[in-house]
Amino acid sequence: MLSFENDYSCTATPEIIERIEQIEQNQYPGYGNDSICESAKTKIREACSCPDAQIFFLVGGTQTNQTIIDSITPQYAGVVAANTGHVNVHEAGAIEFTGHKVLTLPHHDGKIDANELDEYCATFYADGNYTHMVFPGCVYISQATEYGTLYTLAELEAIRKVCTKYDMPLFIDGARLGYAMTATGNDVTLEDIARIADVFYIGGTKVGAMFGEAVVFTHGNMPKNFVTLVKQHGALLAKGWLLGVQFDTLFTDDLYCRIARHANDAADRIREVLVERGYTLTFDAPTNQIFITLDNATSERLQRNVRLGFMEKADDTHTVMRICTSWATTDEQVEQLIALL
């Protein structure tokens, strides 16, 4: 059945599969101490214009969020996130599992607001009982957000300023960073991300790789003995070169952005048709995720022919569903979907 359920339903780009075949006979040292990882890191540093970036490859998103947040957040503190943030909603409590509370701000189309963050911190430190409360210890945002929306450069700069003011590292979840960077209207470059965030990751799982997230510490701030922390969290891949080779491929000839743009183009085409045909877009989002509020009859009709993502019940007669394109979406699939709408 046709599926626009998510952006991680295909294995990997042919270029990656090909590279893996090519290295099939080789022997490499384990745990990422290999030349391919080094090559991939060099390419990522260049793409970020951040020659001192410290880079570590992990396997998946929840694992990455868990390991990073636990490593950068003080023991007495929690992580501030949108109430819709992946770490707050869809990670089965992986953050709390490591002892840290997720402190939530209301979201605005999936984003937190710098002023509200400032107000939150100001109120916290003004509270006479704040030493009995969980300190705001780091800030988590996603670009693109869980709703497919984007922070503007100005918004990121404003959040950065508040982070600096209250001594909170800023962590950007880039599980869909490729789709963010290549979206129509986006004004935030990879260099901007590297300049603004204390640590972020470039998502592979959802953007062309079999798996893999490239964590980037931007200013010599990789936590001490980070490889041990990763191992302790159960997150160290034995055959690290498998991560290296995928990112080395994605960051060769701009492949990462090319395939991401392809997904956005497909989404733009679908959005155009949705608007033409009077569908209600739940959010005004320019990336590969399209949320539509459907009456239940339409929702059921569509799902007889195409697999969509469930988001939430909007009310008794409406449901929010997600149409998700990816690097692997074909023109044919797009046309099939459009025929159903």
* Contacts (CB under 8 A) with its own copies, residues 142-171: none
CA distance 16 to 132: 50
Candidates 32, 61, 136, 174; binder of its own copies (CB under 8 A) is: 61
Beta carbons of 108 and 152 less than 8 angstroms apart: no
Quickly tell me which residue has 């670009």 as its tokens. Answer: 143
184 is an interface residue for its own copies by CB under 8 A: no
Q: Which of 23, 273, 274, 306 is in the footprint of its own copies by CB under 8 A?
A: 23
Q: Give the CA dihedral 80, 85, 91, 96, nearest 10 degrees.
A: 10
Q: Site mask, its own copies, residues 270-299, x = CB under 8 A?
A: ------------------------------
Query: Quick check: 125 binds its own copies (CB under 8 A)?
Result: no
> Binding to its own copies by residue 198, rule CB under 8 A?
no
Q: How far is the CB of 189 from its own copies (least distance, A)?
A: 27
Own/partner pairs, 95-103, CB within 8 angstroms, 24+ separation: 95/65, 95/66, 95/69, 95/70, 97/66, 98/66, 98/69, 98/70, 98/233, 99/70, 99/75, 100/69, 100/70, 100/73, 100/137, 101/134, 102/78, 103/78, 103/79, 103/134, 103/136
Listed ranges 6-14, 39-47, 187-195, 267-275: which one lies at the site for its own copies (CB under 8 A):
6-14
Give 52 or 131: the residue with its C-beta nearer to its own copies.
Answer: 131
43 binds its own copies (CB under 8 A): no
Positions 87 through 116 that interact with its own copies (CB under 8 A): 89-94, 96-102
Do 333 and 7 contact (CB within 8 A), yes or no?
A: no
Residue 232 touches its own copies, criterion: CB under 8 A: yes
Whose Cβ is closer to its own copies: residue 194's or residue 337's?
337
Q: What is the DSSP letter of 130?
A: G
Stretch that binds its own copies, among 44-52, 129-137, 194-202, 264-272 (CB under 8 A): 129-137
Biggest distance spanned by C-alpha atoms of the chain? 64
Sign of the torsion angle spanned by Cα atoms 287, 288, 291, 294? positive
Spatial separation of the C-alpha atoms in residues 2 and 189, rounded to whole Å: 33
Task: Kindly state the smallest distance separating residue 56's Cβ from its own copies, in Å.
Answer: 13
**For its own copies, how many residues bind (rule: CB under 8 A)?**
81
Question: Does 59 engage in binding with its own copies (CB under 8 A)?
Answer: yes
Which of left, alpha, beta for 143 (phi over 0: left; psi -120 to 50: alpha)? beta
Q: Which stretch binds its own copies (CB under 8 A): 73-81, 181-189, 264-272, 291-299?
A: 73-81
Distance CA 270, CA 41 (A): 35
Q: Give the range of 69-77, 139-147, 262-270, 294-302 binding its own copies by CB under 8 A.
A: 69-77
For strand 280-281 and strand 289-295, is the pairing parallel, antiparallel, or unpaired?
antiparallel
Counting contacts by CB under 8 A, is residue 238 touching its own copies? yes
d(CA 9, CA 210): 10
Q: Please, which of residues 240-259 interact with its own copies by CB under 8 A?
A: 241-242
What is the Cα gyration radius of the chain? 20
Is residue 305 part of the contact set for its own copies (CB under 8 A)?
Answer: no
The residue range among 43-51, 84-92, 192-200, 252-260 that interacts with its own copies, by the rule CB under 8 A, is 84-92
Q: Exactly one of 187, 191, 300, 312 binds its own copies (CB under 8 A); which one?
A: 312
Residue 317 interacts with its own copies (CB under 8 A)? no
